[in-house]
Structure formats: C-alpha cells, structure tokens
Structure 1
C-alpha cells in the first residue's frame, strides 16, 4: 500500500491518486494529514504538499486539487522525454510536473465546462482541446505519466511487489440502423422509392426491392458475421442498439417489430447489449428512462452500458442522468473526426462531477477510434498504420483499447472496404505479445 501525506485530503485529490495508483498501477493508496502516522508507516510512502518532510518521494502539489469550482487556469504544456506534461513543480520534487493535478484536469474534462466552440450537433470539438492544440492527443499521457511515477517508486522501494496489468481490448459495435431496406414499413419504403427515382439512383432502387423480396441480404445486416467473430474471441463485444422513436436524427427500425426484437435477443445470446440513447433522450431523462426500460424488457437483464446518439455529450447533464438511472458504464466520450485519447487515458475511469465536487459510480470508457475517423485516410495501408500506432501506444502502458465500429461498416459499401480486416487486426492484437 502507498501512504500519501498531504496537508488536506479532498475529493479531487483522492480521485486523481486512485486513478493513477490503483486503476493504472494496481497499487492501493491511503492518505494522511498526520506526520506521526506517515513516519511510522513501514511500506511505500510519499508526500504531496508544498515542501518535503525529509528525503521521501515528494511531489510538489499544484493548487488545483485543493480548489473548489472552476477557475481560469493558465496552462503551459512542456516536453517531457517522449511525451508532454503541464503544472511544473520544483527542483525538490521527485517529478518535474504535478501529474496528479494534470491528470485531474484531463479526466474531469475541466476544459469542457469552460466556454468553447461547438459543432452543429453541440459537440465539443477536438480542435478546442488542450491535447490537440499541444499535440499530445495521440498519446495516453496519464498512463505514461503513471509509469514514470512507478519507476520512481520502484527505485525508492525495490522490495515492493508491483502488480502487472495486461493489455486488453473492448470492441464496441454501434447499431443506429439495423437494416437499410428491410423492416421499414410501407410508408418509409414508398418514401425511399420516390427518393431513389427523384435522385435517379436506379441501382439503389433495384437493391431495395431485391432485399425486400428476399433475393439479397440487407446491406446493413452484418450480424451473422459479427456473431461469428464473437465466437472466435474471448473478449465480449458490446453492441449498442438504438431503439428510440423515429425522428429527424434517429431513423432505426420500430422497436415493436418482432424481427427487430428477435435480432436484439439473438445478439444478446453472444454479445453484451447496451443502449444507444436517442438524440432527444440526451435532453430528456424521461425519454432515456423509457428507452432503458424497453431494452431491459427485451434482453431480460439490467442495462449496464450506454452510448449517446451522434457521440454527443452535454457535460455534466448527460452523465448525471445516467447516474440517476443507475447505468454503470458509458462509451460516448471520444472524437468523431480524430483518433486519440480525449480524456488523456486508456484506462476506464469514474465520472467526476465538478459542480458537486464528487466522484460518481458511473464508469467512463473513452473510445480511442471510430470507423468514421479512418475515412480521412485514403488507402487501406494508411488506415492500418494509424490503427497499429494507436494499438502500440495502448500496449506500451498495458491499457484497454476501445474502438467503435458500426454494423454497416462490415457491409459491402465501397467506402468501408477493408474495415473487416481492421476490426480483425484489433481482435488479433489481444493475443499477440507486446
């Protein structure tokens, strides 16, 4: 166990230390404000305050972990070996930067509470982030900092038996529309037919009716392939189904259709099933609750995981609603047009509510890439290289790699050519040596 001496124990301090020490490094941590307890402790210990007590491991504390509420923070990002960091300390400090305060800033999404430019869907943009502006979005910097901290502890306490964590993957499959042509109902099919004719898309018109009459598979119906892939790997996929009402933003199948219900049940026999919350559920907890209860009635088990439509987050309201409905995990945080680490980590973490200054039970699983982000790369080789680099960064720190693909990504549409291979590459990475 690591004992931390500090002049004041705050929720922010315990949150930051537990993510670095316990979740990333696997080291139990406790805190004390009593010097006598610190001196008599016979295992690993460090001080986190303004001045060291003697010759112990010491990190000079930044004020951020002792503040309440938001303030205008002046951040200067510096190079640190092969990574970057901020909140520099002092010559007496064992670390040149206060990695605990810096980690809290990134994990709490402090910058997303501050005024910022949003896109047309109201999403926080990567271009607004400290990480992209300072060119460290491509690294899980918090995990890298944690291993630098571990090296210092190992040098000071060589007899301590440090646990070893293993690289893992958490594949996510998003299903905003289970079928492209099938199960749409008469009115939507007639509307689609007229659109095909008006836009002179005769090939799509043929495909529509060949699919409806059962002569060819629906282009979005890739679930047999997904289930076969699931059978070949021990890691459970999480498949998020959109079951909200039809709207301008959400155009899935009616959840009352027997074929759709049967599909969700069959997928849940092999994979974990989560809720893809509809666009309007993001603003209305009553709609969210209705969708949660409906999915639970289909799967016959309590909903554990959610993901928001369009990867939209309204921090902190979105997460507060999930906490209130006792949803345990969320997979919404990430960027649509950029790969990388939005929260600076590849280790799942708890949502910290900055307004209430409290750590919540909701676990955030920030995704590191989404299929759309790879479309910027023209060749399959470029896509593969970017994906392999991401996997390499996560493997270096024994983290959890979380990619998001869609059911239609595994179809035959030209722009998704080769994406089955990319998904398979991710699955294979879990069985390779570092």
Structure 2
C-alpha cells in the first residue's frame, strides 16, 4: 500500500457495496484499500450473500480500519516537515485521493447494512450528528515583547506613513501591558464564546497553554490573574477548558506532566483533554504520554497542511498501540479542519473556505459523526478580518445541521418554556 503509485486504488460505486434494495446516506464511490487474496483478480464484489445465507466480504474491512485508526503508516514513513510533523502529503489518504472521506465510518455503515440482512429483527441505533468546536489559545497579546510593539509602530509611521494605524497599534500595546484581559486577542475569546452561545453550540473547548512564554509557545502565564479571569468567565458559561500542550512536549512526557500540573492548579481538576501545539504528534508515543499524564482525550489528529480525515473517521475512539498490542486508555477525537489550513496552507479564498467547511461537515453528518473544527482566537482580526464572516456563517450552517437553536429562534419545552439543549456526542470515561 505504501509503495503504490498515486491514484491507483480501485473504487466501487456505493450502491454496489450493499445488499440489493439497501441505500446508504452517501453516494460517493468507495475506495478499496485491501482486497482479500485473489479477490480482485477474480472480479469479486465488495461483499456477497452465500447460498447458505451467510455473507462473505471480499474487501478486508478489518485491515482497512486498523490501518487508518492506528496510524501505522506514520510509524514507518520517515518524512516530516519543519516542525517534525507527519504531513498530509505523505499519507496514503492524500496520495490516493480519499483524505476527504471518512472511509472507516463509510465501511461501518456498509457493514451495518449487511448485518441488517443477516439479522432482520435487529434495529441498530443511529448516532446523532454533532459539532465540536475548539479554540487553541496560542496568544493573548499581539506583541510578545515591548520591542515588537515599538518596531510595529515604527513601521506604521516610517514605512507605511499611517498615523491612524500607528495610534491603534500603540493603544493595543498599552492595553496588553495594562489590562491584558482586554486585548484584541482576549476579546477574540469572548467573541468566539458569544457567537457559539448565540447559535446554541455550547460545548466548545478552549485549550490554554501552560508552558509559559517562549519563542514557540504562548505569551502568557496561565496562572496569572488576567488568564484566570478569562478562564473563570468561560467555565461560568459552561465551556470546556483543556490543555494546549507546548511545542517542546513532543517526545517529552516529563514536560507534558509539568504543564498539566500547572493547569490542574488553575482549574482545580485533573482530568480533561486538549491538543498539541502546532499539531505536533508522534504515533504512538504522544498517545502513550497523554495516557500516562492522565489526560482524558487528545484532539490533535488532523493535518496542518490538509483538511480531512487523517484517521479515516469523525468518531471519537480509543487508539490501539500496535507495539504494545493493547488499546490505550485515552480517547482520540480527530480534528477535521483548522482555520490556518484553509488560510495559510491551502490559501483558499473566503468563499472557497466556506464551501469546504460545509462539504466536510456534510460528510460527517452522513456517517452520523462529529464535525470538529479549530478556530483560533487570533484569527478574527488583522489579515484575518475577512474570515470573521466565514466563521460566523459556518456557525449558522453547523447549528442548523446539528439542529441546535439560535438566539433568534430557540425551541421551548411545551410544558414549561424550558430551552431544550442540543444533543451531542460525549466522550465518557469510567475513571471520572
């Protein structure tokens, strides 16, 4: 599989993969990663009912599922980018053209149709599509140091000759050092929270850094009064707080544990999830380190350079460690799309990004999964200004897809006028 030439997989029409008369919620062609032995050469179908009533699958569902969920290919392909990340362009899914397909989930729905034929009395319970928005809080201020602010103001005056811009940046710099909880980026956190609440999308997660200020990390102290004030406001509104593990935690479980201990002290709890900074991840080590640290789940598994389904699924799952031959005691909630992927890596126009977000969300809904999207608090101003509307429009679309209420029209309980909260997938853990 790893040595196949790009775009050489077999693809079958969706309708040909299920029993006659059955219909899938999607009509995409289905990629075949692994045929059974000699099945392709013999012209076998995806699956077939036998004369004795049984069903035989000529496509290896188990191998495909294990291949995608375990991320085995990332342990044998050595290519990495400048941040030590396995890039989307090196993946089988990208090279074979199915990165935008939740192939594991599609296979699962195909299997369900065959099981319904074998077990006519069985009524499988469908899952409810849900939306999980998350926000990595990389920075609370635009200027890491006073010197950065002075250089920016100097460029405004001398190079751009823009006095108004210089005054605005000067005012922002003063706010950052006098009232850091009121900076442009801090207000971005408030906007993200307010917009989600307006659309009934109230299970957002805000991941804060606990590494301390550094060249590749944040510019704030998670234990400072200003940061605690922001965290308290979010928790008071019912939002989830998690860890945005620092750049240097990759391959360093001791540092990860130290950062988690700092956030534990701020939150007054020890069991929550989060995401690696810069999406830096090493399979299977990072999963092991998160398990050892007592973190509930990881939400890193998406690509910086390509949106889609890195793990082939949009459902949370517990990773299987092939080296240890064991399921790990930590959940993975795959990341489907990140703002910077569309803007910085793909260089999409706002309208193109809007369309792409909708397409990926629809694929998640078709397979009864969870659409996850990362939008930074710093991605609402400056060069990101035109993208504010991309995000706000996406919220409206996602709220309707999930069936959530909005501030304009909130469904009420017939008896008491109580607002009905939208149902969403929850990651549960028996250790809590």
**Range into which the TM-score falls when normalised by the shorter chain:** 0.7 to 0.9
Distance in 1 (alpha carbons) for counterparts of 2:352 and 2:148: 39
Q: Is the 8 A contact 1:173 1:407 kept in 2?
A: yes
Q: Is the 8 A contact 2:201 2:399 kept in 1?
A: no
Please list, as runs of the form range in 1=range in 2, the aligned pairs for 1:347-366 lying within 5 A after superposition.
347-366=315-334
Distance in 1 (alpha carbons) for counterparts of 2:118 and 2:3: 33
TM-score (norm 1): 0.76
Corresponding residue number in structure 1 for 2:411:
none
Corresponding residue number in structure 2 for 1:7:
none
Distance in 2 (alpha carbons) for counterparts of 1:346 and 1:191: 40
Distance in 2 (alpha carbons) for counterparts of 1:160 and 1:416: 47
Q: Is the 8 A contact 2:342 2:353 kept in 1?
A: yes
Q: Is the 8 A contact 1:305 1:328 kept in 2?
A: yes
SS across alignment from 2:330? strand
Corresponding residue number in structure 1 for 2:78:
116
Q: Is the 8 A contact 1:242 1:252 kept in 2?
A: no
SS across alignment from 1:366? coil
**Does 2:200 align with 1:229?**
no
1:59-96 deviations in whole A, cap 9, x for unaligned? Answer: xxxxxxxxxxxx98989732122110222124576223
**Does 2:233 align with 1:266?**
yes
Distance in 2 (alpha carbons) for counterparts of 1:235 and 1:100: 36
SS across alignment from 1:361? coil
Out of 394, 415, 424, which is 1:422 matched to?
A: 394
Out of 150, 159, 165, which is 1:193 matched to?
A: 150
**Stretches of structure 2 lacking an aligned partner (at least 5 in a row):** 14-28, 45-49, 406-432
Distance in 2 (alpha carbons) for counterparts of 1:246 and 1:128: 32
Instruction: Figure out how many residues of one structure are paired with residues of the other and give that number.
Output: 358
1:409–1:428 Cα change, 3 Å: farther
Please list, as runs of the form range in 1=range in 2, the aligned pairs for 1:30-429 lying within 5 A after superposition.
77-81=9-13, 82-89=29-36, 90=39, 91=44, 94-181=56-143, 188-197=145-154, 200=159, 205-214=166-175, 218-220=183-185, 221-232=187-198, 233=200, 235-270=202-237, 271-375=239-343, 376=346, 378-411=348-381, 413-414=384-385, 416-418=387-389, 419-429=391-401
Q: Is the 8 A contact 1:346 1:394 kept in 2?
A: yes
Q: Which moved more, 1:222-231 or 1:212-221?
A: 212-221
1:432–1:298 Cα change, 3 Å: closer
Corresponding residue number in structure 2 for 1:29:
none
1:246–1:283 Cα change, 3 Å: farther
SS across alignment from 2:222? coil
1:368-405 deviations in whole A, cap 9, x for unaligned? Answer: 10011222354332222111111111111111111111
**Stretches of structure 1 lacking an aligned partner (at least 5 in a row):** 1-70
Distance in 2 (alpha carbons) for counterparts of 1:222 and 1:361: 34
Q: Please state how far the C-alpha of 1:180 moved relative to its aligned partner.
A: 2.0
SS across alignment from 2:221? coil
1:328–1:255 Cα change, 3 Å: closer
Q: Please state how far the C-alpha of 1:204 moved relative to its aligned partner.
A: 5.3
TM-score (norm 2): 0.76
Q: Please state how far the C-alpha of 1:196 moved relative to its aligned partner.
A: 4.0
Q: Which moved more, 1:369-378 or 1:75-84?
A: 75-84
Corresponding residue number in structure 1 for 2:421:
none
1:110-157 deviations in whole A, cap 9, x for unaligned? Answer: 100103211000100111111011111111011111111111111121
